Structure 1
Amino acid sequence: MKRCATLALALALALRPAAADPVELSAFRDLPRPEPTLQVAYGPAPSQAIDVFLPAGPGPHPVAVLIHGGCWSAATAGREQMRHLGPELTRRGLAVWSIGYRRANEAGGGYPGTYQDAGAALDRLAAEAALHRLDLARVVLVGHSAGGHLALWVASRASLPAGSPLHAPPLVVPRAVISLGGVGDLAAFARFVPLLCGPGILERLAPPDTLAEVSPAALRPPAGAVVMVSGVLDRLVPPWVAHDYARAARGGSGSAPRLVEIPEAGHFDLVTPSAPAWATVRGLIEAALETR
């Protein structure tokens, strides 16, 4: 009888539908990416611009600020890689402010340019809000991968010393920061950057003696809520990376970030609308903006 029960269990497991494989980079690259409603330049470089997607209706509209990933490298696509999320969010009544920035290996990028761009692109939202009927009281920052690092950083920059070239009073204070497979503790992750992103990226992104300025874990946590979202099957930025940041944030007497781990999701599932993980991510965005 015991053997029969064991065989029945084995058969049931064998016949159970297999979970979908995580979204691969090639599938993510192939997603259709519509043109934005408009583009706003904030500097002379092509990457110094913002894709804006506007929903129907009079507003004022809550705003999801998106920051793309790509290893901080110009070898990957820029803000274009997040364009598929524009219609996905505008149909739910959210405006999308998707920022580009000079990458570490791009002219003018690295330290301090990449960080100055992230700050300038977010602050430009304050200048454009009235024109496009955007609600500055309902803003959430959403960064993927390298963009998760920049989202956490730009929301924490108020604690930078006045003598830093990155110091600037923030003009937009988001309600929440949602990091999707992002790097919060750059010092702890530094040894993996050359392996994942290639040589020279880390050196330009964080030259010697600058980690205290550019690693979010070294700064005072953001004023709003912080949610660290990880795919359990993420091979590029595994869940322990979010835990590293959470430990550092608690150690700095900040409020504890919320850790969300999504089973059977990889790195790109978090930003692919057809993947089950996206429903969780979208729910977190809407909850932060109180739109659901």
Structure 2
Amino acid sequence: MTWQDLVQQPMPAPGVRLAYGPDSLQFGELRVPEGKGPFPVVVLIHGGCWLSQYNYRYMNYASAALAKAGFATWNIEFRRVGNPGGGYPGTFLDVAQAVDHVRVLARQYPVKAKEVVLMGHSAGGHLALWAAGRSELPRSSALYTKKPLKVKGVVALAGIPDLTTYSTQKGSCNAAVEKLLGGLPTAMPHRYAEATPSPALALKTPVRMVQGGKDPIVPVSQAQNFVNHSSSRNNKAKVVLLPEAGHFDLVAPTSPVWPTIEQAVKELLVKRK
């Protein structure tokens, strides 16, 4: 499935649009399933090379499908490269604030702040992994936030955990890393260190690195190297390789691989008796 195939599908009915900050781009759409609740939450973080040209709307397909499957969904928008305040550190701080806002949502809607999974696609997969592991950041970091929301797991769909390697490779999205962090790794090593998902994340939090074998934008090695980083028995990260899938199949509920995506969420959120 291509980008054009995805966005030409009928757009689902919108969720409830709610602000998590004062900027016009600091908002999300909340969808709550039918029924009594309270419901576990999937926070969706869109991709698009961290650039302002791409917004949250294409994740509405996945958001609506997951809500139909019984999960509350919080599909977030945030400032990106090209927006005032976007890039480093604004993009990261927005995502952190939006994730932590689930606590506020739980006071007003039938959703569970202690039953949360982060699902990000492409550049959003990087941000989901980063947000889940940001408790490792020192107080001196420009990306530091107090008391990050603890999540049950991360589903990274064609995620990009290794920004240093990705920034030096050729591809349609790779050059955007330099724009996001204000330079290449040699010029901004501290920013790359802070913006790279914590290697310790998978020792504490279950991670599913879902990757299409025919993805022209994100190589399979990104998922494999992240999972293989730790040989510890406590490593809770797994690669879910979909050999025939491309980049956008992973966020299309009409694609043959969508049941695998839903299953990854269920593994992390649905309690077994």
Aligned pair count?
265
> Within 2, Cα distance between the matches of 1:95 and 1:256?
24
CA contact (8 A) 2:168 2:174 kept: no
1:251 to partner: Cα distance: 6.6
Identical columns (%)? 36
2:123 maps to which of 146, 149, 167: 146
2:14 paired residue number: 36
1:211 matched to 2:189? The reply is: no
Paired residue type of 2:270: E
1:127 paired residue number: 104
1:182 paired residue number: 159
> Within 2, Cα distance between the matches of 1:154 and 1:72?
15
CA contact (8 A) 2:44 2:63 kept: no
1:245 to partner: Cα distance: 1.7
2:138 paired residue number: 161
More helix by share: 1
CA contact (8 A) 2:155 2:208 kept: yes
> Within 2, Cα distance between the matches of 1:233 and 1:157?
31
Paired residue type of 1:212: A
Q: How does 1:16-95 map to 2 (within 5 A)?
A: 23-76=1-54, 78-95=55-72
SS at the partner of 2:168? helix
2:172 paired residue number: 196
Change (3 A) 1:270 1:291: farther
1:193-222 deviation digits (Å, cap 9, x = unpaired) = x741375x3233223131110011x55315
What is the aligned-residue RMSD (CA, Å)?
2.0
> Within 2, Cα distance between the matches of 1:126 and 1:154?
15
1:115 matched to 2:96? The reply is: no
1:4-61 deviation digits (Å, cap 9, x = unpaired) = xxxxxxxxxxxxxxxxxxx011101212222433111123333211111111112111
> Within 2, Cα distance between the matches of 1:198 and 1:176?
26
> Within 2, Cα distance between the matches of 1:283 and 1:291?
13
2:219 paired residue number: 238
- Point out where structure 1 has 5 or more consecutive residues left out of the alignment: 1-22
1:256 to partner: Cα distance: 4.6
> Within 1, Cα distance between the matches of 2:105 and 2:40?
14
> Within 2, Cα distance between the matches of 1:266 and 1:25?
10
> Within 1, Cα distance between the matches of 2:119 and 2:158?
11
Structure 1 residue runs of 4 or more that deviate by more than 6 Å after TM superposition: 251-254
Change (3 A) 1:33 1:46: farther
Change (3 A) 1:25 1:69: same
Paired residue type of 2:255: A
1:153 to partner: Cα distance: 0.2
> Within 2, Cα distance between the matches of 1:197 and 1:149?
13
> Within 2, Cα distance between the matches of 1:283 and 1:127?
27
Paired residue type of 1:255: N
1:284 maps to which of 256, 261, 264: 264
Q: TM-score, normalised by structure 2?
A: 0.91
> Within 2, Cα distance between the matches of 1:286 and 1:33?
24
